[in-house]
Amino acid sequence: MKELTQLKKVVSHPYAYIRKYKKQTGKKVVGYCCSYAPEEIIWAAGALPVRLFGTNENIHLADTHLQSYCCSLVRGILEEALDKRLDFVDGIIFPHTCDSFQRLSDIWRLNIPEQFHLDVVLPVKLDTPSAKKYMAAILEKCRKDLGKALGKDITQAMLARSVKTYNKIRSLAGKLYELRCANPQIISGTDFHAVIKAAMIMDRDQYLKILTQIVKQLQKAKPRKTRDEAKRLVLSGSVCTHPDIYGIIEDAGGVVVWDDLCTGYRYFEGQMNEKIAPLKAITARYLKRVICPAKHMELRGRGENLIRLVKQSKAQGVVFLLLKFCDPHAFDYPYLKEMLEAEKIPFMLLDMEAELPPVGQLQTRFETFIQIL
Amino acid sequence: MLTAGIDIGSITAKAAIVEDGKILGTKVIFTGYNAEAAGKSVYEDVLRENALYKSAIKKIVSTGYGRNSVKFADKTFTEIMCHAAGAYHLDKKVRSIIDIGGQDSKAIILDGDGKVKNFVMNDKCAAGTGRFLEVMARALEVDLDEFGAISLKSKKPSKISSLCTVFAESEVISLIAKGEKRQDIIAGIHESIAARVASMSARLGLSEPVMITGGVARNSGVVKALEKKLSMKIEVSPYAQVNGAIGAAFLAASL
């Protein structure tokens, strides 16, 4: 599939793509690190929102600023910035989530003055009436600040167009998840991961076109008769930037059929109401979406969502991918574990950093987990 | 029916032959650089020593890190599955297994039928493994096989606080320089491994009876320190190092 090849090229060399894109279009690039960054507003302003995933190579510059108990994601992103590898970024936007990202925001503001810097101080509790008002106000402020930084007035019409584009992308991505869940053979895990990741990097209009083609072709694809006995798994956690994990799971006799990752389904879920004021619709989605553990909604919301995903996708087990030193996720793990145990859903925990544990060990763990399912 | 199990570990390669639930023979050699060659030669050795032809062996299961390089195996299982099968065949009552091998340690929980219910593994760190002991044996100039017996003489184990093998080695060297007794240092090393393995196992929740397997199970000092840390009695597998290979041979019989 030539569309897939195109996306894989973008994902394997994202910075080359972005540099070329900037040159060709003259558009500004706004970096972000978290799925609470209101990228609908960035895209509405005519800038390209690009998610930063960091690096696992030779972290040394970041270590002079960060303590050793910061997660590898934060260190990796800072390393790239300090090493001037992100010089194509015109500005950066930090929504308020976990402590490490708050500190990263401060370090960024003080050390990378050539980029504009925006904090979006979101509420922590999302289910109170005051939070709703506050969220709306803070996103309105974000619209104004971002407009000022980019030298543009971000109008209702611009926002409405962006909302439409995002709604289409998200609903197609949801379809892609459903197709793969029903027939995991139609697209390999590694390719699937590339399609998902490209959504956070590419020109969104261009991506929408390609995604439409991919979904159309996959709808026609006949599943090959293999891996019928593959054990169906759900990935749970924060970010997964390791396409290798999908392959290792498939080699071990499993297949990933769904996820609740920040760089996965959680990024896509939730449609915005196109009949109301666009900023209101954007606000409503961020308030309703299944939360990141750095936020608060209902006490057991994440657990209930995970169990629902497992049941809907007919999965046989859950693999937790937790970044080392990620407190919010680590604090949620015990209660998620208890809820899964109560439902008799088997699970395994993979504590990881930007760098994966040695492949041999990973294989042993996945194979054993899959063999005992 | 005769079946064979081959366990290619990071340091040693093991083979076992079983016949109708009985262990006929086992063999251990160093894995060395070439896992595939090690698998072949340990298999040939065990056959020769037990006066068997290849054609007598009906099924072969390979396990361990090098399991996929044993091309003549009928099936592979992970070492976790094989240690569970090996321990269960030796003692049907066993509910938990602690396996300390050359490059990792594991805790495994079994159900009443010997099936693996849950497991944990240490990750990317040599602390709490056989390699840790090897490094320390070199620093102390003591043969690793004597570690257990020497440590049991200690009345006051030294404190080794570092979890990192490299840092712990320099800690040991400064203890030597301070003139601490060899037996105390060794006992301290065993306590450090025990603490590491115990905290990992505690996450899983061990239930008794507990059996210890893997090469390090041969070290009575580590076993004693672990019993103290866990406040549990630990049964030592008589086939510590070859338990995985035996388990593989038993699993081969049920293919």
Q: DSSP assignment of A212-270, as one string? A: HHHHHHHHHPPPPS--TTPEEEEEEES----HHHHHHHHHTTEEEEEE--TTTHHHH--
Q: What domains are defined for chain A? A: 18-151 (3.40.50.11890)
Overall average pLDDT of the B8-36 stretch:
93
Residue B8 lies in a domain: yes
Q: Provide the b/e sequence for B189-227 (b: ≥16 CB within 10 Å).
A: bbbbbbbbbbebbeebebeebbbbbbbbbbbebbbbbbb
B255 touches chain A (CB under 8 A): no
Is B209 within the bounds of a domain? Answer: yes
A220-228 contacts at long range (C-beta below 8 A, 24 or more positions apart)? A221/A183, A221/A186, A223/A183, A223/A185, A223/A186, A224/A185, A226/A185, A227/A184, A227/A185, A227/A255
Alpha-carbon gap: A224 to the closest alpha carbon of chain B (Å): 24
Give residue A1's pLDDT.
85
B79 vs A351, A364, A372: nearest CB = A364
pLDDT of residue B126: 74
Please give the tally of structural domains in chain B. Answer: 1
Share of chain B above pLDDT 90, in %: 65
Q: Is residue A293 within 8 Å of residue A331, measured between CB atoms?
A: yes
Cβ distance A18 to A47 under 8 Å? no
Interface probe for B, chosen from A353, A372, A373 (most Cβ of B below 10 Å), is A372
* Chain A CB contacts of B115 below 8 Å: 372
pLDDT per residue as tens digits for the range A98-141: 999 999 999 999 999 999 999 999 999 999 999 999 999 999 99
Predicted pLDDT of residue B160? 86
Q: Give pLDDT, residue A232.
A: 96
Structural domain of B52: 2-124+196-253
Q: Is A83 within 8 Å of chain B by CB?
A: no
* Coil/strand/helix, residue A271: coil
Task: Give the pLDDT band (50/70/90) at residue B240.
Answer: confident
For residue B59, what are the contacts with CB-CB under 8 A and spacing of at least 6?
A: B1, B3, B4, B74, B75, B252, B253, B255
* Closest chain A residue to the Cα of B68, Cα to Cα: A360
pLDDT of res. B124: 61
Which amino acid is present at A274? E
Confidence of residue B95 (pLDDT cuts 50, 70, 90): very high
Full pLDDT tens readout for chain A, 373 residues: 899 999 999 999 999 999 999 999 999 999 999 999 999 999 999 999 999 999 888 888 999 999 888 999 999 999 999 999 999 999 999 999 999 999 999 999 999 999 999 999 999 999 999 999 999 999 999 999 999 999 999 999 999 999 999 999 999 999 999 999 999 989 999 999 999 999 999 999 999 999 999 999 999 987 766 556 899 999 999 988 888 899 999 999 999 999 999 999 999 999 999 999 999 999 999 999 999 999 999 889 999 999 999 999 999 999 999 999 999 999 999 999 999 999 999 999 998 887 787 788 889 999 999 999 8
Cβ of residue A367 closer than 8 Å to a chain B Cβ: yes
Residues 6+ apart with CB under 8 A from A172: A208, A211, A212, A215
Q: How far apart are CA A199 and CA A207, in angstroms?
A: 7
CA of A307, closest CA in chain B: separation in Å?
20
Q: Looking at the complex, does the CB of residue B123 fall below 8 Å from at least one CB of chain A?
A: yes
pLDDT on residue B243? 94
Which amino acid appears at position A268 of this protein? F
* Contact predicate A247/A126, CB 8 Å: no
pLDDT tens-place string over residues B199-219: 889 888 899 999 999 889 989
Whether B147 maps to a domain, the answer reads no
Q: Which residue of B has its CA nearest to A344?
A: B117
Output the pTM of the full model.
Answer: 0.89
Q: Is A364 on the interface with B (CB under 8 A)?
A: yes
* Domain containing residue B52: CATH number: 3.30.420.40
pLDDT at residue B129, rounded to an integer? 85
- The half-sphere exposure of A235 on its side-chain side, counting CA atoms within 13 A, is 31
Q: Are A294 and A238 in contact (CB under 8 A)?
A: no
Task: Indicate whether B135 pLDDT > 80.
Answer: yes
How many angstroms separate the CA atoms of A24 and B63, rounded? 55
For B73, the token pair is: 């195996």
Residue A19 CA to residue A14 CA, distance in Å, equals 9
Query: Which of A226-235, B48-57, B91-100, B112-121 is predicted least confidently?
Result: A226-235
pLDDT, residue A225, reads: 62
| CA A254/CA A256 separation, integer angstroms | 7
Query: Which residues 78-107 of B have a C-beta within 8 angstroms of A?
Result: 78-81, 104
Q: What pLDDT shows up at residue B222?
A: 93
Q: Provide the CA B112 distance to its chain's centre, in angstroms.
A: 23
